[in-house]
Chains A and B, each alone.
Chain A
Amino acid sequence: MPEFLKRGLHSHEGKLLFVVLALIIFLSLATPSFFTLQNLVDLLTSYAFSGMLAAGLLVVLISGGIDISFTASASVAQYVAMTVANAYHIGWLGVIGICGGVGIVCGLLNAILIGTLGLSSIIVTIATLNVFFGLLMFATHGNEIFALPDWFVNGASWIVYTDKNETPYAFNLQMLGLIGAFVLTALLLTRTNIGRQIYALGSNKDAAQRIGIKVFRLNLLVYGYMGFVAGMASLIQAQDAQSVSPNALVGRELDVLAAVVLGGASLTGGVGTVSGTILGVMLLACLENGLLLLGVPSYWSQCFTGAVILIAVSALAIERQRHRAAARRVMA
């Protein structure tokens, strides 16, 4: 722990952890309902969707790209999966397969277009966001699906703890998905060769190409992974919401981006960690949830979120400027 503290003074994650802990301590003292098991369960369940997407987007950002279309891919995936699930008995493996498959197809399409059109990833994915979302709204006429199969609505949960008042606290699918996404992403980024290649690609594309990294193939994997995570996230979101609405998710993409960037990932690629991303999501989640519990009218929560984002990115930039100035002094 002391060693971590020492490192924490220097790393972005350490500073972020300090801020998040300070926020949690403040909120725990200020409202009795914040630091409770129930609130923890609620937080994990309702932010699982954004958290999972943040994990996927982190990989894309590290590779030096950006994806804006994932909310549309997620909407398409959950709509297709639930439509099929209502018509046939496909079971859990079936919906997981469809959600993952649709997500991967959307992701691969992004990667192929980015690789062949020579447009930047932000432009391609803004275009595919509109294509996916437009086609989905066109095909479904914007109709929501309210009736989902019983086995899906009931979901799956494992009761892990029952308190004195006999209130059960369950480990549910949302938590499973959230933890799964972060663990999988961490393994991919830090324990595999591919992960090193992704960092290399994001740090210096030309150098990466010269040491023999196949950029197009790696991009297929990166955007395919983002699509897969988006598909899985859409599944647990549909399970949580107990319905599927084609226009419920699109529009949240920039919030997810904000969380990942708060976590220290750089838009120019090569920089970012899973722990930072988790803290970024936690910061925004605790802020929103805390303001609500403090009794601040919900109308103002977005304003606070914006201020925090602005302050955080400014602080990051000032820090980077100072680093660069220090580096220049060393060189001179």
Chain B
Amino acid sequence: MSERSVTAHTPPRATAARFRPSPVLARLSLLLVALLILFTLLLGDKLFNATAIRSMAFQLPELGVLSLAMMIPLLSGGLDLSIIATANLSALAAAYIFTHFGMGDGTGAVIWNILALLAAFGVAGVIGLLNGTVIAYLGVSPILATLGTMTLVKGIAVGLTHGGVISGFPSFMVFIGNGSLFHVPVVLIVFVLVAIPVGVMLARSPFGQKVAMLGSNEQAVRYSGIDTRRVLVRVYLLSALLSAVAGLLMMARFNSANAAYGESYLLITILAAVLGGVDPAGGFGKVSGLVLSLIVLQLVSTAANLLNISQFLSLALWGAVLLGVAGIGRISAWAKPMLKRR
């Protein structure tokens, strides 16, 4: 049972108490307000004008969709290290078809463009099924299985492209990446269109319940007559399909595809999810918390950028924010009984 999670040695009850979603949301909201006040004092109009907000709205969705792809396996008590590699290989598959067949006008091009998008999801689907099968049916721990597929999938992408870039896509991809509808960036609309159904599915659907229960106690779920293996396969399939969405978004934003885009995002997505109240041992977490944590991270990064601080300092700040939030939670948990006693 413990092979599924890296954190098997923390007593589950304690972890569950610490990560009960609502205090996390409250803490994150407080943090967000505090950051907003701080940055208003420091930056004023520079942060809260249309350009800065629009740039934030353009940057957030990539990490957002990737974090969703990471969140679902985390909820189930696993992890998916292959999301970035999957995103890039799916984007490359689409890019290949776009650049070879999809240019020009007419119905032929339209069909090829649809096929290109389908190819991206097809590639991702195969990878997701591979991950899911190896994890669910062979019993490989998720971190190892996805470490293997990550290396394999990236290896295929590098091997096929020789590390090169494929660029030049039909205009609708450029529009998705850099266009706006009613002043709202299309990428943000895509993110919302992905995040809401995923959030509803995780919180309200039977599948979502099964995923969360799987993360809490896999054995209990199996003994209650649920085929945990099928659920797990779907978890990794879904994660891979979301990665494909992220890959297409990255490809649309950069107007190019490459085997190594977004690699620094991999571990950040875990940070974002955990900051958003997803229990890394599985079982607890909401999309709303994730979105809040993404906004916090994006705010820190944009403010650092506007303050002319190196982008790397915001990387350090992201790590520090997570440790700080966990620390505050710890201190308040420690202080509460002392206050009550008085």
Contacts and interface: CB of A to CB of B under 8 A. Distances in A.
Interface of A: 64, 66, 68, 113, 116-124, 126-138, 141-142, 205, 251, 254, 257-258, 261, 266-269, 297, 299-307, 309-310, 313-314, 316-318, 320-321
Q: How large is the interface on B (under 10, 10 to 19, 20 to 34, 35 or more residues)?
A: 35 or more
Interface string B1-34: 0110011111000110010000000000000000
22 contacts: A117-B323, A118-B330, A122-B7, A123-B7, A126-B271, A127-B322, A130-B315, A130-B319, A132-B316, A134-B313, A136-B312, A261-B144, A268-B3, A302-B151, A306-B153, A310-B148, A310-B149, A310-B152, A313-B144, A314-B145, A321-B138, A321-B139
Interface string B144-160: 11011111111110110
B158 A303 contact: yes
Interface stretch (B105-113, B176-184, B211-219, B262-270): B262-270
A64 B9 contact: yes
B326 A117 contact: yes
A126 B150 CA distance: 18
Contacts of B153: 306
By CB atoms of chain B within 10 A, which of A118, A129, A313, A320 has the most? A118
Contact of A268 (B8, B18, B148, B158): B8
Given A267-B141, A300-B155, A314 B150 contact: no
Given A254-B81, A314-B140, 8 more contacts: A117-B327, A119-B323, A120-B10, A130-B268, A133-B312, A134-B313, A134-B319, A258-B148
A135 B155 contact: no
A309 B147 contact: yes
Contacts of A118: 10, 14-15, 18, 326, 330
Given A122-B7, A138-B310, A267 B143 contact: yes
Contacts of A307: 148, 152, 155
A300 B158 CA distance: 7
Nearest to A124: B323
Contacts of A136: 312
A123 B281 CA distance: 10
B191 interface: no
B295 interface: no
Contacts of A133: 312, 315-316
B317 interface: yes
Contact of A299 (B2, B162, B267): B162
B103 interface: no
Contact of A123 (B152, B158, B322): B322
B126 interface: no
Contact of B7 (A120, A297, A318): A120
B139 A317 contact: yes
Nearest to B162: A299
Contact of B154 (A135, A302, A316): A302
A303 B8 contact: no
B144 A267 contact: yes
Contacts of B10: 118, 120
B330 A310 contact: no
Given A257-B147, A258-B147, A269-B9, A305 B319 contact: no
A310 B145 contact: yes
B155 A137 contact: no
Contacts of B258: none
B274 interface: yes
A128 B320 CA distance: 8
Contacts of A254: 81, 147, 150
B56 interface: no
A258 B150 CA distance: 11
B138 A314 contact: yes
Given A130-B316, A318-B138, A306 B154 contact: yes
Contacts of A121: 6-7
Interface in B101-150: 134, 138-141, 143-145, 147-150
A66 B268 CA distance: 17
Nearest to A130: B319
B140 A317 contact: yes
A268 B158 CA distance: 32
B240 to A, nearest CB: 15
B73 interface: no
A259 to B, nearest CB: 11
A37 to B, nearest CB: 30
Contacts of A129: 267, 319
Contacts of A316: 140
B138 to A, nearest CB: 5
The winner among A126, A266, A301, A306 for most chain B CB atoms within 10 A is A306
B98 interface: no
Contact of A309 (B148, B268, B280, B326): B148
Contacts of B144: 261, 267, 309, 313
A199 to B, nearest CB: 14
A109 B121 CA distance: 42
Contacts of B86: none
Nearest to A253: B267
B314 interface: yes
B266 to A, nearest CB: 9
Contact of B316 (A135, A302, A303, A305): A135
Contacts of B18: 118
B44 interface: no
A269 B162 CA distance: 38
A126 B139 contact: no
B163 interface: yes
